[in-house]
Amino acid sequence: MKVTLSVLKADIGSIGGHITPSKAIVDEVRNFVKEKSKNLLIDFYIGYTGDDIAILCTHERGVSDEKIHKMAWDAFTAGTAVAKKQGLYGAGQDLLKDAFSGNIKGMGPAVAEMEFEERPNEPFVFFAADKTDPGAYNLPFYLAFTDPMYNAGLILSPKMSDGFTFRIIDVGYTEKDKIIELNAPEEVYDIAALLRDNERYVIESIHSRASGNQAAVVSTTRLHNIAGKYTGKDDPVALVRVQGEFPATGELLAPFQIGHFVAGFMRGSHNGPLMPCKLNSTISFFDGPPVVTGAAFCVNNGKLTEHADVFDHPYWDHIRDQVSEKATAIRRQGFSGAAMLPYSELEYGGIVEKLEKLEKKFKLVD
């Protein structure tokens, strides 16, 4: 059967700063979705990562479906009402528009969806990252889909030997979706030339070249493009189908051992290493470090199995220790140079005003 996987996520308020949602708002979102899911959804799962709540659901309505998006918008609105009642910090933070207008994209919440013909066995991984932005997936997904150093299947399995097509979006262009399609392996240098710049070029989706089947989709929202000012980082979600003609789950996870530096961390204005964490992890050191979680499922006639927590394993404890060392190392240099994001990516306006004031105090001397 043809099934659609949709994940819609938002920060609608959290306890003690931007740390974690309260149990009450997660329950409210879950109960709302449960109530509205009749005749709309086949199945759903509610999770949270840092201060973001995600609704993962399965249905037969295709991507960008108005009813699915409205259900999620209403669930986040209901959760926001509870967040306000509880006095949570940043209640309704990601709901940037007053009224729903047909598609949740461009309204604040992040969305990643794909529709496909279900395979007899259909495993996939749902990733959610907090305190970072959509470009955080560029490097791990590039490596998992193009590099035999991480993906042994590119050498060993004939099903992947034709490679993959990358759809990459220029998130700096706001009028429309500006997208380029490039093929690996022939065009990996071009793909790398774009993906090097995580803040500008972001993987939007990946397809198998042999079958045309979609492997991956990433949410690509830029919140400050919508709001015109800082409203929080664009904490991204992604869905990746695994096994068979796609990377094995372990091949997909392998590049996350790098704990590469991504934009985000404190005030969405720093570089920090991406730490693979257990599901429902909270946020701590310097409002970070940036975290990514992964829940693996199988979907069968649209029904989800229970999930497996992909980073809940002793191997990843060791990686988390190494990533902590990287986080401590870069934090030692505070605001200096590479520790803080370039001017164009700083998410707070205060520094602009400060520099304008200082500009007037400069004197030209011989």
Interacting positions 111-130 with Mg ion (CB under 5 A): 130
What burial class does residue 159 get, using C-beta atoms within 10 Å of its C-beta: 0-12 exposed, 13-18 middle, 19+ buried? Answer: middle
Q: Which of residues 35-74 bind Mg ion (CB under 5 A)?
A: 50-52
Residue 268 binds: one of ligand F6R, Mg ion, none (C-beta under 5 to 8 A by kind): ligand F6R
Quote the tokens at residue 243: 């096994």
Q: What is the spatial distance between Cα 180 and Cα 284, in angstroms, rounded to a whole number?
A: 37
CB 90, min distance to ligand F6R, A: 6
Q: Which is nearer to ligand F6R, 9 or 36 (CB)?
A: 9
Nearer to Mg ion, 288 or 302 (CB): 288
Tell me which residue has its CB nearest to ligand F6R: 287
What does 17 interact with, of ligand F6R, Mg ion, none (CB < 5 to 8 A by kind)? ligand F6R
113 vs 130 by CB, closer to Mg ion: 130
Residues making contact with ligand F6R (CB under 6 A): 17-18, 90, 131, 232-233, 266-268, 287
Q: Which is nearer to ligand F6R, 94 or 122 (CB)?
A: 94
Q: Which of the listed partners (Mg ion, ligand F6R, none) does 52 bind, with a CB threshold of 5 to 8 Å by partner kind?
A: Mg ion
Under the binding rule (CB under 5 A), the answer on residue 267 touching Mg ion is no
Structure tokens at 157: 């399995």
Q: Binding of Mg ion at residue 11 (CB under 5 A)?
A: yes
Q: How far is the CB of 133 from ligand F6R (least distance, A)?
A: 9
Beta carbon of residue 95, minimum distance to ligand F6R (angstroms, whole number) = 15
- CA dihedral sign, ordered 217, 222, 226, 230: positive
Active site amino acids: 11, 230, 233
Could you give the CA distance from residue 290 to residue 148 in angstroms, rounded to a whole number? 27
Number of residues that make up the chain: 366
Specify the residue, 287 or 345, whose C-beta has the smaller distance to ligand F6R. Answer: 287
From the CB of 325, what's the least distance to ligand F6R, in Å? 21
| Residue 267's binding partner out of ligand F6R, Mg ion, none, with CB under 5 to 8 Å set by partner kind | ligand F6R
Least separation in angstroms between residue 17's CB and ligand F6R is 5
Q: Supply the minimum distance, in Å, between the C-beta of residue 341 and ligand F6R.
A: 12
End-to-end CA distance of the chain: 76
Do 266 and 344 form a contact (C-beta atoms < 8 A)? no
**Which of 13, 232, 236, 247 touches Mg ion (CB under 5 A)?**
232
Burial string for 68-100 (b: 16+ CB within 10 Å, else e) reads: bbbbbbebbbbbbebbeeeebebbbbbbbeeeb
Give contact residues for Mg ion (rule: CB under 5 A).
11, 18, 50-52, 90, 130, 232, 235
